[in-house]
Amino acid sequence: MTSASKVPLITLNDGTKIPQLGFGVYQIERNETYKYVSKALDVGYSHIDTAQSYANEKEVGKAVRDYNKYVFVTTKYFNPNASEHGYENAKAYFRKSFKTLGLDHIDLYLIHFPVIKNEVYVDAWKAFVELQKTEKLRSIGVSNFTTTYLKKIIDETGVTPSVNQVECHPYLQQNELRKFHEEHGIVTESWSPLGRGDVLDDKILKQIGKKHNKTAAQVVLRWHIQIGNVTFPKSVNTERIEENFDIFDFSLSEEEMESIKKLDKNERNGPDPAEFQFPDDFLEKRQQESQADQ
């Protein structure tokens, strides 16, 4: 077991410190979330990335409360319905997540996906700025924002998000966006850091791993750390949960970093926020499906 103190902390633009490696819980079944979050916390993870739309905030909250030590918790605001998304709704959803998690504060709250119709994501950001001042909320940020949407919310409010959580892995390195983030003091968070497993068969990554006696997954996660991103791989396999945390006893050389840089093919698993919008009734349908599954 690796000590939690080995995880570097990054200071966000509002002074909050975030552990660079966390545990992601997207697609972890509600009835298994407590078990796997507890396992991750026992291994040493001290940062959990959840979302209202993952439908497992309650179980995340319980695992964190039972753990009894400080854990950095992120959750996200997701309502793709353009006629509802916005100022009041963002506030109401924050309060709902806060209650569901049952923690004494939330560390980081993100706009999960920009709803661009009538630019309502800007209204949501205005609510976030208020929430940070008035509620038990440490930091505010966004997810899946392009530079256009980032510029818009910064111009409208004068408040720069602390993070932008975007799909990022060796096949989608987001160099331009990361440069913009760096120039504006925004921390890049990588979602799907392992490309949902798709990058792990890569010959180069395996070769590098062999030299360090590490797996391709460990090489990729180490790469995220060395480029300065925050990340949170997901797994429901206890050995992999341990493996993904065991990345602080080696480092990649400049040459190795350079060869990973060359793997970029601008290849996405998820939707491109520059073009894609979720349908208005997406959340409603998903909730119906998840109720039918119970």
Residues forming the site for ligand NAD (CB under 6 A): 24-26, 49, 112, 143-144, 165, 191-197, 200, 217, 232-235, 240, 243-244, 270
In the complex with ligand NAD, which residue's Cβ is closer, 236 or 257?
236
Helices 57-67/87-101 angle, 10° precision? 50
In the complex with ligand NAD, which residue's Cβ is closer, 15 or 36?
36
Smallest distance from the beta carbon of 38 to ligand NAD, in angstroms? 16
In the complex with ligand NAD, which residue's Cβ is closer, 98 or 278?
278
Q: What is the secondary structure of 104-146 as a DSSP string?
A: S-EEEEEE-S---GGGHHHHHHHHHHHHHHHSSEEEEEEES--
Whole-angstrom distance, CA of residue 24 vs CA of residue 191: 9
Environment class of 83 (CB within 10 Å of its CB; exposed 0-12, middle 13-18, buried 19+): exposed
The residue behind tokens 């910064």 is 154
In the complex with ligand NAD, which residue's Cβ is closer, 106 or 133?
106
Residue 36 annotated to the active site? no
Smallest distance from the beta carbon of 251 to ligand NAD, in angstroms? 18
The torsion angles phi and psi of 231, rounded to 5 degrees, stand at: -150, 165
Point out the residue whose Cβ comes nearest to ligand NAD. Answer: 24
Smallest distance from the beta carbon of 235 to ligand NAD, in angstroms? 4
Smallest distance from the beta carbon of 30 to ligand NAD, in angstroms? 14
Q: Which of 54, 77, 109, 121 is catalytic?
A: 54
Whole-angstrom distance, CA of residue 283 vs CA of residue 93: 13
What is the DSSP pairing of strand 17-19 with strand 9-11?
antiparallel
Which residues are known catalytic residues?
54
